[in-house]
Structures are given as C-alpha cells and as structure tokens.
C-alpha cells in the first residue's frame, strides 16, 4: 500500500515521464483545431521545445508539427532522440539542459520557447537548473515568447496541493517555483505563460481539460490534454503574463474536491 501511495504521489507531477532534461512578429489566429487533426495557423513559426523526448513535451512537439510549425527539440541522448526523428518538421539537437550554452546554441533562430523539463540527474534538479537555462537563453537571444510548464503546488497554488503530496514533493515544487520566479521577476520583456498541471495521467486526451486562474484548483489531467492546452496558449495573447492551472473536470481524481467547479480561462 505504501508503494502504491508513493507511485500515485509521484504521478502528480509526471516525474516518471519527464526525467530526460534538454523572433517573428506575433499574429493572433483562431485557436480551433489544436489536437484534433485539423490545421491551425500560428504566429510563431519556429519553436524550441525542451523536455521533448517523452510525456507532455513529446506530445507538444507532435501537436506543433501537426500544425505545420517547425520544431527544434532538445534531446539528451541519441537514444532519446529516436522517436523525435520520426516526426516530420522536427529538428533534433543532442544536448544537456544543464549546459546553458548548448541550450542557447540550439535555440538560436527560434521565435518561441516551451519547456516541460522535470526530474533529476546525479542529484541535480533540472526543474530549476534546466528551466533556468532555457529562460536565460531566451533572454540572451531575444526570444520574447516563453511557456513554462510546472505543477499545481508551486507558488500561489501551494494550498491547492494535498498536504501529503506537497510534503513528499516539496523539494521538486520548490525547484519549479524558483524557475517560475526567475521568469516572472527578471525577464520583464518576455511574454511568458506559466501552466501548472494537476496530477498527470497517461491516457488519450479527452478534449475536456481547462485552464483556470483559480489558484485553489486541483484535479487530474491527461498529458496529451496538457500539451493541447500548451499549444493553444502559445498563440493566445490572452495567456501572456498569466499563471494558469490545468485540470480536467471530466475525469475522476482522488485529489479533487467533490462538487467544486472552477471558472475556465478562455484562450
């Protein structure tokens, strides 16, 4: 039972699916069609993605490429890059997200950056170090659109996370929170968006997931739905300089408050 409990807690952040670390004019376009196979015009034409080899990051890459966006994906090893190389429109660069200069070199020429990095390597947490390198590289290169995927339980959403989850994951959440603060406080010329998913589930998307500004929101969400919301948020001016929680009211969650509803943020 103890093992099951800890596995459930760790799935809250999707840690098992994210251990691998890694300026054109904006034009607002309709956001219909993301994730359902139909095409969608986007203002950003070349997007850097870190955390791209699995989980939410891989799904983000697939959805961007499906909509005709050129993707530059960072992969830590050749082995991790294999699935990305099979996707049309995706350029894969081998590099470690702990290496800021390598991240900067790979990001060069992109007009937006998305990072879903999470996990640790040799006792170093990519949740802060890797994400910070993505943020710093964007600042150096003048990439003014940055989307950072963290977790419910960070910052203003601390009280939303169940105490048992927060206690076990407090170091992870602290590292993600530190990356959020760097982006918010020191990159004032960046049109950032922070998306905090709830408990992550590896099932096909429902299409019912929402973003909300309610920092008490808690629940579960499929990884593919998180990616769908990230791609929608990328091209939505309404999401700029916003911190949004992501959850799916249509699926059962052990951490959700029964009967509680949250106002959806329109993108």
How far apart CA 95 and CA 231 sit, in angstroms, is 23
Residue 59 · residue 87 · CB < 8 Å: no
Residue 216 · residue 155 · CB < 8 Å: no
How high is the pLDDT of residue 34? 44
The stretches in the chain having pLDDT less than 70 are 1-42, 254-259
Range 122-134 burial, b when 16+ CB lie within 10 A, else e: eeebbbbbbbbbb
How high is the pLDDT of residue 176? 97
Q: What would the pLDDT profile of 57-90 be if each residue is shown by its tens digit? A: 999 999 999 999 999 999 999 999 998 999 999 9
Q: At what angle do helices 163-186 and 2-11 cross, to 10 degrees?
A: 20
pTM tops 0.75, yes or no: yes
Q: What would the pLDDT profile of 106-137 be if each residue is shown by its tens digit? A: 999 999 999 999 988 777 889 999 999 999 99
How high is the pLDDT of residue 59? 97
Strands 145-149 and 112-115: parallel
């Amino acid at each position: 039972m103890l093992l099951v409990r800890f596995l459930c807690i760790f799935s809250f952040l999707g840690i098992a699916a994210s251990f691998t670390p890694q300026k054109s004019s904006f034009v607002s376009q309709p956001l219909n069609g993301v994730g359902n196979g139909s095409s969608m015009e986007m203002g950003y034409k070349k997007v850097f993605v870190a955390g791209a080899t699995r989980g939410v990051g891989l799904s983000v890459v697939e959805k961007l490429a499906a909509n005709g966006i050129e993707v530059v994906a960072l992969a830590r090893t050749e082995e991790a890059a294999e699935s990305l190389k099979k996707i049309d429109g995706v350029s894969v660069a081998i590099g470690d997200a702990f290496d800021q200069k390598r991240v900067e070199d790979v990001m060069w020429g992109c007009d937006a950056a998305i990072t879903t990095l999470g996990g640790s390597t040799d006792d170093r947490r990519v949740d802060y170090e890797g994400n910070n390198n993505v943020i710093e590289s964007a600042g150096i290169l003048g990439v003014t659109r940055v989307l950072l995927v963290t977790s419910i339980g960070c910052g203003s959403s601390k009280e939303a996370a169940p105490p048992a989850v927060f206690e076990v994951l407090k170091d992870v959440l602290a590292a993600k929170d530190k990356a959020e603060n760097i982006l918010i406080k020191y990159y004032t010329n960046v049109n950032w968006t922070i998306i905090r998913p709830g408990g992550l589930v590896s099932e096909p998307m429902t299409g019912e997931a929402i973003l909300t500004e309610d920092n008490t929101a808690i629940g579960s969400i499929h990884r593919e739905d998180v990616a769908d919301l990230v791609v929608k948020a990328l091209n939505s001016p309404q999401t700029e300089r916003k911190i949004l929680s992501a959850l799916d009211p249509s699926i059962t969650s052990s951490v959700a408050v029964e009967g509680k509803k949250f106002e959806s943020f329109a993108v």
